[in-house]
Chain A
Amino acid sequence: MDASTWIWVLVAVAAALLLVWMYNTLVARRNNVENAFAGIDTQLKKRCDLVPNLVATVKGYAGHERAVLERLTELRTAAAADGLGREEAADIRGSMSPLFREAMAQVEAYPELKASAPFTRLQRQLAEIEEQLSAARRAYNAAVTEYNNGVQMVPLCLFAAVFGFKRRTWFLAEESDRATPATDFGAPGI
């Protein structure tokens, strides 16, 4: 082979390596987004699993808030139904947020329950999960930002469309999440 052929071969190899690198980068970033989404789902499931605990703790006091507890239980059952997609299940679990807040806020009317050890423990667990959920959503948004930067910025954007990489949307707080104040944690032990 003469020199010019060698040069063409080298250029072709370099271009192939560049393509592989770009493809792998996009795949890695997409996987990070999937992984971060799974992190949110895990926390939502953990919070969902607190429902029986919440019902057991407040059932003796349940008055007009019984409807909230029943709705929470229904949603938990719905999220665990067979044949449900991961995103659908996450949506259902995510929709439980305002109900959780409502249930915790209604306990304010029962000082005896609010001061009880099981309820305080439950409140702390819930606070911890909410904090982890918030962290998972922030991690998801960071992963989506990195992925979207790749999909929209040169040079990765040149191949993103060819390989079928599409923009993802950030997690945005629901209107109800913005409007409702957080549970009052002025509980003993703080």
Chain B
Amino acid sequence: MAEVFPQLDDPTLAADFTAALATLSAGRRRSWLWLAGVVAGVGIAIVAIAALDGHWAAWLGSAVAIIVPLSMTVHVRSVAAMGVRNLLLERVVPAIARHISPGLEFCAEEGFSLEQFVSIGPDRGRIDEFCSDCLFTGTIDGVRVSFARVLARRREQRRGVRGQTRTVWVTLFSGVLFHGDFQKEFHHPLWVQPDFAERHFGQLLGNFFQKCASYGSLRMMRMENPDFEKQFVVYAEDALETRYVLSPKMMENLMAVGARFDRQAEFSFRDSAVWVVLPDDVVPRWLDLDAAMNPEGPAHLLQDVETVARLSRDLDLHVRLWSKE
């Protein structure tokens, strides 16, 4: 905590956060007392029901003796946590955003739209539930960027062994999306994904599966960098534009980013912008406020935001040598 707050532009934040944590701690202690009340209520209930031989009044009294302290336990804990949560959302994370770049803003309730998510590709099929929040938007080194948390799920009916049906939610994607303005103008989409097929089935079989995979008008393209080819597979429409976007330097950058995210990051280039798709596996518990309600919490939040924000520099999006302004 001591390392983070001096870097942020809110002078009273450290004291306020310490006070909020103290309130949370006091609230948690109070909740333990109410929890003891629940135990006592259970004891009273057993005695009362036995003494009154299961009379309705005994049941009613027992219910009150248990429910009231139980509700208070939950209430006291949630009220105590709410204070810290609000402070994190309204002051700590926005200050972290400003610290990373003065042009970067944080909107807790906003996120990407379903249309934006679908446009990235590839086709993930029907999406029944989509939510996106914790949007960071603005500029880093003069480059327009935005990133947010995203969850997309599909509802499916599954039949059990006895023939009964049950509803299950299948997670199509859960993680963080990064969107950055690309340095060059281009018109055809291209998609760079980790080379799972070659990694798992070997070069010959993997290459065959990749060639068979179809993503609309996109077809597999082999790039001339063998290390890049080992790590990624490229699907694109236009051979020349693909190489214009994936210059030798950009391929190096993508490999570096891929290595940083355990070879699981995907990249989608379309409409003269780049999308980076980071699944939960590589950004676990990203911006998890519940896990940040402790003295080290703000430092972890800063690390989470920096991890994604530095993609702009990792991909050299600020280098503007070309005619696109």
Which A residues have a C-beta under 8 Å from some C-beta of B?
Answer: 32, 36, 39, 121, 124-125, 127-128, 131-132, 134-136, 138-139, 141-143, 185, 189-190
Whether A131 touches B224, Cβ cut-off 8 Å, given contacts A36-B239, A142-B239, is no
Q: Which 8 pairs of residues, A with B, have the shortest CB-CB distance? A: A135-B243, A135-B244, A128-B322, A139-B239, A138-B243, A124-B323, A139-B240, A127-B321
Residues of A within 8 A of B244 (CB): 131-132, 135
Whether A138 touches B322, Cβ cut-off 8 Å, given contacts A128-B184, A131-B244, A131-B247, is no
**Pick the contact of B222 from A39, A127, A134, A142 — CB < 8 Å?**
A142
Instruction: Taking A132-B244, A135-B242, A136-B243 as given, write out 20 further A-B residue pairs in contact, using a Cβ cutoff of 8 Å, ordered by the A residue number.
Output: A121-B323, A124-B321, A124-B322, A124-B323, A127-B321, A128-B321, A128-B322, A131-B184, A131-B244, A132-B240, A135-B240, A135-B241, A135-B244, A136-B240, A139-B239, A139-B243, A141-B224, A142-B243, A143-B239, A190-B320
Residues of A within 8 A of B239 (CB): 32, 36, 139, 142-143
**How far in angstroms is the closest Cβ of chain A from B167?**
48
Contact A134 B247 (CB under 8 A): yes
Residues of B within 8 A of A135 (CB): 240-244, 247
A-B contact count (CB 8 A): 50
Chain B residue with minimal CB distance to A189? B320
Task: Verify if B319 is at the interface (C-beta below 8 Å from A).
Answer: yes
Residues of A within 8 A of B320 (CB): 189-190
Contact B247 A128 (CB under 8 A): no
Residues of B within 8 A of A121 (CB): 323
Contact B224 A138 (CB under 8 A): yes
Chain A residue with minimal CB distance to B318? A190
Chain B contact residues, majority secondary structure: loop
What is the CA–CA distance of A121 and B321 in the complex, to the nearest angstrom?
10
Q: Digitize B278-314: 1 where CB-to-A-CB distance is under 8 Å, 0 elsewhere.
A: 0000000000000000000000000000000000000
**How far in angstroms is the closest Cβ of chain A from B227?**
16
**Pick the contact of A127 from B241, B242, B243, B322 — CB < 8 Å?**
B322
Highest count of chain B CB atoms <10 Å: which of A128, A132, A138, A190: A138
**20 A/B residue pairs, CB under 8 Å, sorted by A:** A39-B240, A124-B321, A125-B323, A127-B322, A128-B184, A128-B322, A131-B244, A134-B247, A135-B240, A136-B243, A138-B224, A138-B243, A139-B242, A141-B224, A142-B221, A142-B222, A142-B224, A142-B239, A190-B319, A190-B321
Residues of A within 8 A of B222 (CB): 142
What is the CA–CA distance of A124 and B183 in the complex, to the nearest angstrom?
12
Highest count of chain B CB atoms <10 Å: which of A36, A125, A128, A136: A128
What is the CA–CA distance of A132 and B241 in the complex, to the nearest angstrom?
8
Residues of A within 8 A of B247 (CB): 131, 134-135
Highest count of chain A CB atoms <10 Å: which of B184, B221, B240, B243: B240
Chain B residue with minimal CB distance to A38? B240
**Pick the contact of A128 from B241, B242, B323 — CB < 8 Å?**
B323
What is the CA–CA distance of A124 and B239 in the complex, to the nearest angstrom?
23
Residues of B within 8 A of A142 (CB): 221-222, 224, 239, 243
